[in-house]
Amino acid sequence: MSYPQQFPASLLTQSQAERLAYFDNYTMAHPRLDEAVNLLKLLVKESGESRVIFIYGPTGVGKTTLRLIIEKWLIESTLPELEADPGRLPVASVEAVVQKSGLFNSKDHIKRCLFALNEPLIDQKIDYGTRGIYRNNNGQVVIESKVIETDLGWALEQALKHRKPKIFFIDEAHHLLMVASGRKLTDLPEAIKSLANRTEVVHGLVGTYELLTLHDIGDQLSRRSVYVHFPRYRAEVKEDREIFQSVVWGFQLHLPLPEVPDLLSNWDYCYERSLGCVGILKNWLRNALADAIAEGAVTVGKKHLERRALGVAQCRNILKKIKEGESNHALLEAEVEQLRTELGLSVISVQSKSDSKLFPEFHSGNNLIRKRSKKVGQPKPKRHQVGVK
């Protein structure tokens, strides 16, 4: 059965760059993404004292797409405020970068944050010249090497106060954990929490499951933080499997080629090499599309998919990291029993239906698997025979 293509027919006569740009800009709506978007919108609108949001999930699941959707929403929804206050920024983002040494440098990171907030009129709001930060003749911000980290932190605080973004995203935030020896792992996250409180600007830390390392670093950060989990689709869960198949079907209808490729027949191969992560799948299909267009093919075939797929070793390495992260997340969710015990409350094992499907190894039905109430070898209560026959 053939299905109508969902892209403008005029694309077929356009250049390869334009056709690839169309697919790059296309966002496939799906339940995991929709849930994360809706939750993040609520948290940005009303953060209360929880001004640090940890957004985590497996690599390639679509976290960057999530961030871009929120950024677009904020830009569109704050237009009236921007007209009244032209110097304001609706949103800002920066990537946490690892240096050539393999370590994260906080001074370099703050510089990148300042550049991310470098917009017109900022010169009239902050006197950077007195702190070794100024604009050159080309209008670019120059930060002298003598400027110390505390000065940079002060400048960043002032920039955030004046720019007042609804949220300041730090992408690849798990890189914050790669600190030099002799420096506490908690230093930078605590500094971010403090900065968020002083400026009243929500900070969104976007990264992999490694962000869960920061779960127990302090009561103040825990109290003022919110966690948003963005999981992958799992093939062992029937509903997830069906949703992933619909995602594959949706993508195949938006590949700007003369003929619709039959990816759905090979959905399990698509799952195998994307690990259930929509971001990995889209990037893979994008590269296969580029090959098909370059060859003048009428559609994406199996050879294009195989040529551009992640290798088995790559997939296994990524999957190992994902499973470790999923297990850590599930263990944190399972701590509800321990919490109630420590609070002196009766222990109830109630978990959401979605969690029981995402982490079946930690559940029996819809309830968490309880610890044994009896020792091994101790029989269940029953009537024993008395006397000798």
pLDDT digits (tens, 9 = 90+) for 331-348: 877 777 777 788 888 776
Q: DSSP for 107-139, please give it.
A: HHHHHHHHHHT--TTGGGT--GGGGTEEE-TTS
More confident: 326 or 179:
326
Each residue's pLDDT tens digit, 33-44: 999 999 999 999
Looking at residue 375, its pLDDT comes to: 44
Each residue's pLDDT tens digit, 107-130: 888 888 988 887 444 444 445 554
Classify 100 as helix, strand or coil. Answer: coil
Looking at residue 275, its pLDDT comes to: 97
Give me the half-sphere count of Cα atoms (radius 13 Å) on the Cβ side of residue 363. Answer: 17
Q: How far is CA 160 from the centre of its chain?
A: 23
Q: Is the pLDDT of residue 389 over 50?
A: no
Q: Contacts for 40-44 with beta carbons within 8 Å, 24 or more apart?
A: 40/66, 40/70, 40/204, 40/228, 41/70, 41/73, 43/202, 43/226, 43/228, 44/70, 44/74, 44/166, 44/167, 44/202
Q: Kindly indicate the confidence band of residue 181, based on its pLDDT and cuts at 50, 70 and 90.
A: low
Judged by average pLDDT, the poorest of 146-155, 208-217, 354-363 is: 354-363
Strand segments, DSSP code E, in the chain are 52-56, 92-95, 133-135, 141-143, 167-171, 202-207, 225-229, 363-364, 367-368
273 contact partners, CB below 8 Å, separation of at least 6: 280, 284, 309, 310, 315
Judged by average pLDDT, the poorest of 82-96, 168-182, 276-290, 319-333 is: 168-182
Q: Is the pLDDT of residue 80 over 70?
A: yes
Rounded Cα distance between 265 and 248, Å, is 10
Six-digit token string for 287: 């590269």
